[in-house]
Structure 1
């Protein structure tokens, strides 16, 4: 009777998870905002849009820190795998765990009906790319938005529940820890214009390089004019907020972690100190609203 009741509870919880599917985050015990007591949590996946800097920065989870010993390892010159899901239940941290073959993208492409999340891409070619950024600060309170530098990009992410990211030859972190974050902006055709951020504690292992990561600046759209491409360390793209934006594309024209903004697929090997070339932009803290408005599409 107890076993049957437990199974029924798990079934109900997973059914609730299914109904909440819509958005995504990376999941690790080193992340901020774990919502530890809740095995059915989707707090970390909530999209960011129309928030003040204080509201959206660090996904609002600065005070929900991971345990002191939890650090996500980034092997310099190697690769690291991260779990992606719309709910803690569908990760190694939850009751259900990952689905079979987590490194494979859905075939045929299902988008919303794959069990672990919505990639906001109606067609396979609409997947817009996700990225990892690093800030060389050991305390999260010391990190500012401009401190992050994107060091790894996967153009066809999110598409797999377990995603591998290539790591460049990064230098060691101060006091054995840096601050990292996962970033994602889906194409506007895939739903409401918004952005995603999952911060976590990280450390570069097997670090032998003495090269420092350069000061990152915002990217510039340059797919029609390569002379405008920013070469060198690039910031994450902060977009569609009331404050803190560094990207000002209008609604329905989402910036993406793609070649269009000179984010190459794989490890970003141009991020080390050697200056920048081509386009330059500065960050402001006011929101530039589109004349087209922010009409919701497919959420």
Structure 2
């Protein structure tokens, strides 16, 4: 057997092992920061953010690795958008090596912990999957964006569970200069892994027929599963947690806040974000 063939088989095996066992995830798109273009087997964007200084975790530390000029992710107002979720670039359409996207990337595992070699990317049982979210900041210059500028506009309660995830988009207004900054956010249940938060920033714009509605000032959510009257009404901020600086959530370890109804995030488009 040729050495090159052996190397390919071993590298594919290693990738599969990483996929099955690695709970670290990111979204992958040509408009993302931190593509790590020189590495087709990159997992840099999927590295978790915990116990870091603000300058280390903000923008996932990838401000200096922007997308190519002109790359932008379209958010159709009142529509839907798909994003790929993976632990490694090789398991996405950005990768150049096998295995890439699986045949039915929109499917979640059935049964939940299946044995098809892919698993469900993260958790061993459905109740460990706590939700992920998209946030938008109405600034065209990423260096001008502050944590409080982001507002969560779409949530999927049973995310991450699919390679290709659909997000519902509310009636968003247009972006300045046809460019906004977006980010994917995720904090898994403490029972589903260690205490970590995730953030993947990317360039985005609102397409279709943007509205003239004004988005309200976002506020951090509070846990309200036992008393719905405590839920934060209106626009909600992303949850920044478990770092040394810049947190807006202060739950102790092993009690992770989540993008779920427990914290007032409804499933789907967040239609309550407007003034």
Same fold judged by TM-score > 0.5?
yes
Unpaired runs of at least 5, structure 1: 274-299
2:13 to 9, 12, 15: 15
Give 3-state SS (helix, strand or coil) of 1:255's partner.
Answer: coil
> Deviations 1:122-174 (Å, cap 9, x if unpaired)?
21122100000000000110000110000000000001110000000100001
> Deviations 1:59-97 (Å, cap 9, x if unpaired)?
000000000111011000000000011100000011222
In structure 2, C-alpha distance between the alignment counterparts of 1:100 and 1:7, rounded to whole Å: 24
For residues 250 and 215 of structure 1, do their structure 2 counterparts lie closer, same or farther at Cα, with a shift above 3 Å needed?
Answer: same
Count of aligned residue pairs for this structure pair: 270
What pairs with 1:22-61 in structure 2 (closer than 5 Å)? Answer: 22=22, 23-61=24-62
2:209 to 186, 207, 210: 207
Give 3-state SS (helix, strand or coil) of 2:34's partner.
Answer: coil
Conserved? CA contact 1:14–1:89, under 8 Å: no
In structure 1, C-alpha distance between the alignment counterparts of 2:241 and 2:179, rounded to whole Å: 27
Give the deviation of 1:191 after TM superposition: 1.1
In structure 2, C-alpha distance between the alignment counterparts of 1:142 and 1:117, rounded to whole Å: 36
In structure 1, C-alpha distance between the alignment counterparts of 2:140 and 2:10, rounded to whole Å: 40
Conserved? CA contact 1:31–1:66, under 8 Å: yes
Unpaired runs of at least 5, structure 2: none
In structure 2, C-alpha distance between the alignment counterparts of 1:264 and 1:44, rounded to whole Å: 27
2:124 to 122, 146, 168: 122
TM-score of the aligned structures, taking structure 1 as reference length: 0.86
Give 3-state SS (helix, strand or coil) of 1:232's partner.
Answer: coil
What pairs with 1:129-208 in structure 2 (closer than 5 Å)? Answer: 129-208=131-210
Conserved? CA contact 2:34–2:45, under 8 Å: yes
Aligned to 1:108: 111
What pairs with 1:268-283 in structure 2 (closer than 5 Å)? Answer: 268-273=270-275
In structure 2, C-alpha distance between the alignment counterparts of 1:239 and 1:114, rounded to whole Å: 32
Q: Which runs of 4+ in 1 moved over 6 A?
A: none
RMSD: 1.7
Aligned to 1:69: 70
In structure 2, C-alpha distance between the alignment counterparts of 1:8 and 1:69, rounded to whole Å: 39
In structure 1, C-alpha distance between the alignment counterparts of 2:158 and 2:176, rounded to whole Å: 32
